[in-house]
Amino acid sequence: MSGRVYQLHSTLELPLETVIDYFDSDPTLPEEIKDIDITRRNNTLVIKSIAQDGTVSKYTPTAQLKASVTETRVYEEEPETGPGAPPAWGEEEEEIPSELVEFAAFKGDRETVLQNTALQFPMFEVLCTIATLAEKGTLTAIAERDGELEATKIVDGEKRPATVEVVEGPGSEDSAPNGVNWRDNKFIT
């Protein structure tokens, strides 16, 4: 299978534990990828593809997904004293139980989230699977699979219908009908 990713934008955010558990569960990877190597450097998570033997030179950098890791305090549901009422005067406000959770944020455009070109499309497929695990964020992309353009849109872990629409072609003369024609401008000599 051939493929290429032309455009990608991601705002995905999911618990780091969910990402690690997914790869620890021995998931089915695209056939071009033998294994995945996960490295954490400070607040950066790098998920690197390892090619099947002989398909890519050992000196060629293979595609990798990059995410920033942040700690966020997650609160449990706030107990209500009445229908949405704040505590009455004199009552002590109960402390809401919370915990610090590390989140992996796959945020940015193609070069930020999906790096290197060798095995780029198979790693894009891995990113799409991760996107279905995310409860928060959006992944939109335009990719080519076997000569056909396809649009991808995943919102809050759910695949949504998406289409590729060509708005204006390169070099079309009516692409800027309200623009200034600099060649025939009477004010420029």
In order, the DSSP letters of 56-116 are S-TTSPBPEEEEEEEEEEEEPPPPPSSSSPPPPTTPPPPPPPEEEEEEEEEEEEHHHHEE-
Q: What percent of the chain has pLDDT over 90?
A: 59
Q: Which of 54-63, 87-96, 168-177 has the lowest mean pLDDT?
A: 168-177
Confidence of residue 168 (pLDDT cuts 50, 70, 90): confident
User: In this structure, is residue 126 part of a structural domain?
Assistant: yes
pLDDT of residue 161: 93
Q: What percent of the chain has pLDDT over 70?
A: 79
Confidence of residue 183 (pLDDT cuts 50, 70, 90): low
Q: Which of 28-42, 75-89, 132-146 has the lowest mean pLDDT?
A: 75-89
User: In this structure, is residue 175 part of a structural domain?
Assistant: no
3-state secondary structure of 145: strand
| Containing structural domain, residue 130 | 12-76+98-137
In the chain, the largest separation of any two C-alpha atoms, in whole Å, equals: 80
What's the rounded Cα separation, in Å, for the pair 2 and 46?
24
User: In this structure, is residue 86 part of a structural domain?
Assistant: no
User: In this structure, is residue 180 part of a structural domain?
Assistant: no
Cβ pair 124, 141 in contact under 8 A = yes
* Residue that the structure tokens 């309200």 belong to: 178
pTM, 2 dp: 0.77
pLDDT of residue 123: 95
User: In this structure, is residue 144 part of a structural domain?
Assistant: no
User: In this structure, is residue 167 part of a structural domain?
Assistant: no
What's the rounded Cα separation, in Å, for the pair 81 and 165?
52
User: In this structure, is residue 165 part of a structural domain?
Assistant: no
**Interval 174-187 mean pLDDT:** 61
pLDDT of residue 86: 60
pLDDT at 110 over 90: no
pLDDT of residue 89: 64
User: In this structure, is residue 187 part of a structural domain?
Assistant: no
Domain count, the chain: 1
Residue 126, amino acid: V
